[in-house]
Structure 1
């Protein structure tokens, strides 16, 4: 897979242009002048043009009817419908030339949105915050999707040009500089990629390559047909492109349960295998993570090195949902599936990964959801209390800090950051920011109206109660309201929360991470009083033990088992409300 089929290649005397357009009769390359492209029987059009230099801009004219950008464009300086720019990925001078990544057990993720992470909203501006992440104990910076989207503001899940990092945040070399500076500080960098659909504006593939799509539908439009070899190659080459040309350390694949899998070999298996080949060739640690509402444990294996069809881990929505219900009492939507006994659900998640491992889920139409997951390593689960979805898919985008009791939230952090699962924070969570993260985008005309109407349908109860107070996703002020308040780190509450997170992650680095290789799930129990206990067998033979009071009342304390206490209060006869203790027992 090292030889790309898609995209423009620089040659010794110019550039070679290619476009797969099986439905087109004629394609012309538009540079300073027009060049007729040669058509092969397999639907590929090509043209070798001497004298083309880096920075040249071009488009393709389809059947003298429509001018389109390169679907594998390396950069779109004038947004999704503008000309593509010829990029030389070999010219960047990497400083962290000996960087090979970090093993998966060392991972502590923070999910970020480039446009709202800093007031400047750029790749370059993020560099100034990297030292803060390192000092906080974070080891991996995850960026929400960058594939070029329509307009200046977007979460990133409406990308239509998968190979072009969006120009709203800077140029390709600016993104590489961010990754390089992160590597110099020992930080991994992950990218969120979307292979289940294309965005609603700026995608022209249906005009000249309709076989990209099937008749099936995803929640966001036509499903992509990965039975077609060229379509399959387009996605796999894209994954390798981000990992090779930009040196990302890993990818998080969005909502893979909405990929319509047809054919004998699933695209997820092929993509993992291709990435594994790149990892073996380069000697780099490369990590692949899934978001998968189907809870398919069979796709996961954090110890497979390099990847050969499996994935390191999955975002564990179940873990988030039981905590959210426990901390807020909310029961709408999918939270209803966790309302009966959230503490029992948490115990199941702590003892075997998923909450739903084959049981019927009402929100999912009563279908059986999930596969047994207790035999997986704990590191196969990315656990979190907040992320972009769970915060942003609320009418006001309000965070847990605005909804939950601070002491309860601190207890949740003490469990999440020291448990042997892979932890993830959402940007600003480390200092307890209350800045919201509402949904925002920058569409126009009928599409903008459709987005507004869709939001009003989805959150009719909120509009009925709050009316125009509900943020308009198209209003620039909604986007601006999501920009992080870095100054609040220095206020009393911010300092206190940041100190807590730093202490917890210091303990994780010292006591938990060295024991994660070979760790296994144990048992967990939740009592009606609020008492939660759990234990895991660590890779060095020690036992990691958790005892917590997840209630508003003081409860009797169980007898502590022999071992060293690494977190929490004393060993008295009672446990205060929302208190957490961690012990490491003897081998």
Structure 2
């Protein structure tokens, strides 16, 4: 293989061979399988060119080789009852999830930035975007055209929400059913590779959000021929759990992770909602997956990062960067800050209304707020494990993300819910803290454009999904009335998707331009003054003052010290600040707050002051 070509060989799917294409399918629930080579320009007008009965090779595996097949060939599997299904390991689905799969030559793309090795974890500043609404075109190619904006902004990593092939014309990302195929609405496999290649050429890492806890409700055919893929005795919010006790199932997901990292050169993966993964195996699937990834890149010099979303607040999968999982999304941090800025205390925010500044002190110094304490929102069930001994960089902090916006009834961003000064204080705290921060697309200029839940399933699923979503909000303030719930946007309407598209045209408005310039300045300060300090940095103190006042200090073995003083409330902080920073101020909001601190005056509302101490 040429040094500018990258492929990942898998024991299933379509594999290019000198004698044609070898097809492999795990279908333990059927007595026969035929692979059909087809042609046509629509899923409703396909002609079968050849049919190859597959051979049972043991343990539920079926294989066949088609001599006349090659790159570009359309194929599908026919089951004994006549049902035709796509390849669950399809690399591309030109006619959506119900259509035939297409053979792809994974080594056809010549990488321009083939020597890219990534960046160390402590340099990470994440920018989460939805491929379908980040631009008006909603494509990989259109994202590539905006990369210079992201470089100029100062982020170091682009995080793509899931791209796995989903049913219909649009999807917010979490209903993928063909996990190896980038959705054709965003572009071809080579289009995605060109995007990643262009990002690497600019020094940007690219992460992919992957979903290993469930499949979407439409287009997953595994249950028709591989029922053992699921454990009917274990239930999740999406139905029967994936059965990770079975070797073919484990290999399917391990190869998926390696496929994205090797064949597409992604720099990292974010694993969605792993608390919903049920696995009682002696070696948990996440442990095996991390081990396989680390073994795969060992000795290459390449930086590869693995990040979890885990509502359990469990730290057992975390470790030093590059050893197991590098980090975990810190929902506690978001929920505390959101409550402080908006006053919201319903739903899961109920867990954070009591002593929120003490909770923020714990989150900034120890990672999680909930480390085994009972959760009122969960009827008193305990949540979390101790996290004080985990590296600071093992927690990804944010004040907005796709979940916290898209799961609101009207897709409200924080900019529509909190005063501008409060949001600026939260951004100043987030972007200079010695942990990986995450921005959601448009946050850098204070976008108020909603990001709404939007999907496009078949007609039989539409009303149940509409009703289910609206009923979810019945217990929330303002939605007890059915008429109020009826105003929640229809996820199947084109307007809902269109209203979620990022408002690039507002970026140059005076207020937006000012916010953008300020964020660029904060990130420039982070890269020059904070990032070099981060390795080895540990929290050494947190002190409260007044109602919403907090001072936190971190120090690394080299003696470098970072401190922040804040007043995250709408009133001045009258009490004396316990030990004003002694070194140069790195950033302060609002303007002049550092002078008030130096003179011993009350801190203004929504103050954040960062300094390096001598």
2:26–2:62 CA contact under 8 A, matched in 1? yes
Q: 2:389 maps to which residue? A: 375
1:530–1:549 CA contact under 8 A, matched in 2? yes
Q: 1:573 maps to which residue? A: 600
2:327–2:394 CA contact under 8 A, matched in 1? yes
Query: CA 1:469–1:463 in 2, change beyond 3 Å: closer, same or farther?
Result: farther
What is the rounded CA distance, in whole Å, between the counterparts of 1:75 and 1:540 in structure 2?
50
What is the rounded CA distance, in whole Å, between the counterparts of 2:194 and 2:255 in structure 1?
22
Instruction: Identify the match of residue 456 of structure 2 among 439, 442, 446.
Output: 442
Superimposed CA distance per residue, residues 383-432 of structure 1 (whole angstroms, 9 cap, x where no aligned partner): 00000000010110010000101001100111110011110000000110
Larger displacement relative to structure 2 (524-533 or 198-207)? 524-533
Q: 1:184 maps to which residue? A: 201
What is the rounded CA distance, in whole Å, between the counterparts of 1:194 and 1:326 in structure 2?
31
Provide the secondary structure at the position in 2 that maps to 1:79: coil
Q: 1:222 maps to which residue? A: 240
Q: 2:21 maps to which residue? A: 15
Alpha-carbon deviation of 1:199? 0.9
Q: Output aligned runs, 1:211-290, within 5 Å.
A: 211-215=228-232, 216-280=234-298, 282-290=300-308
What is the rounded CA distance, in whole Å, between the counterparts of 1:74 and 1:364 in structure 2?
41
Instruction: Identify the match of residue 352 of structure 2 among 338, 363, 369.
Output: 338
The answer as to 2:468 corresponding to 1:425 is: no
Pairwise CA RMSD: 1.4
Superimposed CA distance per residue, residues 186-220 of structure 1 (whole angstroms, 9 cap, x where no aligned partner): 00000000000111101111111111000211111
What is the rounded CA distance, in whole Å, between the counterparts of 2:191 and 2:112 in structure 1?
14
Instruction: Identify the match of residue 145 of structure 1 among 147, 150, 162.
Output: 162
The answer as to 2:584 corresponding to 1:564 is: yes
Q: 2:40 maps to which residue? A: none
Superimposed CA distance per residue, residues 290-340 of structure 1 (whole angstroms, 9 cap, x where no aligned partner): 00001111211133x3x3xx2000000000000111111111110001111
Q: Output aligned runs, 1:378-397, within 5 Å.
A: 378-397=392-411
Superimposed CA distance per residue, residues 112-155 of structure 1 (whole angstroms, 9 cap, x where no aligned partner): 00000000000000011101101111000000001111111111
2:371–2:387 CA contact under 8 A, matched in 1? yes
Instruction: Identify the match of residue 223 of structure 2 among 201, 206, 211.
Output: 206
Q: Output aligned runs, 1:18-37, within 5 Å.
A: 18-31=24-37, 32-37=49-54
What is the rounded CA distance, in whole Å, between the counterparts of 1:122 and 1:160 in structure 2?
19
Q: Output aligned runs, 1:441-520, within 5 Å.
A: 441-460=455-474, 461-462=478-479, 464=481, 466-520=484-538
Q: 1:88 maps to which residue? A: 105
What is the rounded CA distance, in whole Å, between the counterparts of 2:557 and 2:425 in structure 1?
25
Superimposed CA distance per residue, residues 256-308 of structure 1 (whole angstroms, 9 cap, x where no aligned partner): 000001110000000001111222153310000000001111211133x3x3x
1:456–1:463 CA contact under 8 A, matched in 2? no
Provide the secondary structure at the position in 2 that maps to 1:110: strand
Q: 1:49 maps to which residue? A: 66
1:328–1:403 CA contact under 8 A, matched in 2? yes
Provide the secondary structure at the position in 2 that maps to 1:526: strand
Alpha-carbon deviation of 1:3? 4.6
Provide the secondary structure at the position in 2 that maps to 1:545: strand
Larger displacement relative to structure 2 (274-283 or 83-92)? 274-283
What is the rounded CA distance, in whole Å, between the counterparts of 1:61 and 1:154 in structure 2?
28
Provide the secondary structure at the position in 1 that maps to 2:422: helix
Superimposed CA distance per residue, residues 472-493 of structure 1 (whole angstroms, 9 cap, x where no aligned partner): 1111100100000112110011
Alpha-carbon deviation of 1:463? 6.8
Q: Output aligned runs, 1:18-167, within 5 Å.
A: 18-31=24-37, 32-167=49-184
The answer as to 2:573 corresponding to 1:555 is: yes
Instruction: Identify the match of residue 194 of structure 1 among 211, 236, 239.
Output: 211
What is the rounded CA distance, in whole Å, between the counterparts of 2:114 and 2:373 in structure 1?
48
What is the rounded CA distance, in whole Å, between the counterparts of 2:8 and 2:192 in structure 1?
22
Q: Normalization by structure 1: what TM-score?
A: 0.97
Larger displacement relative to structure 2 (128-137 or 557-566)? 557-566
Q: Output aligned runs, 1:531-542, within 5 Å.
A: 531-542=549-560
What is the rounded CA distance, in whole Å, between the counterparts of 1:333 and 1:376 in structure 2?
28
Superimposed CA distance per residue, residues 344-403 of structure 1 (whole angstroms, 9 cap, x where no aligned partner): 211110111000001011222321110111111111000000000000101100100001
Provide the secondary structure at the position in 1 that maps to 2:91: coil
Larger displacement relative to structure 2 (421-430 or 563-572)? 563-572
1:567–1:582 CA contact under 8 A, matched in 2? yes
What is the rounded CA distance, in whole Å, between the counterparts of 1:331 and 1:427 in structure 2?
26
Query: CA 1:69–1:153 in 2, change beyond 3 Å: closer, same or farther?
Result: same
Q: Output aligned runs, 1:320-359, within 5 Å.
A: 320-359=334-373
What is the rounded CA distance, in whole Å, between the counterparts of 1:191 and 1:71 in structure 2?
19
What is the rounded CA distance, in whole Å, between the counterparts of 1:212 and 1:526 in structure 2?
52
Larger displacement relative to structure 2 (427-436 or 31-40)? 31-40
What is the rounded CA distance, in whole Å, between the counterparts of 1:463 and 1:122 in structure 2?
38
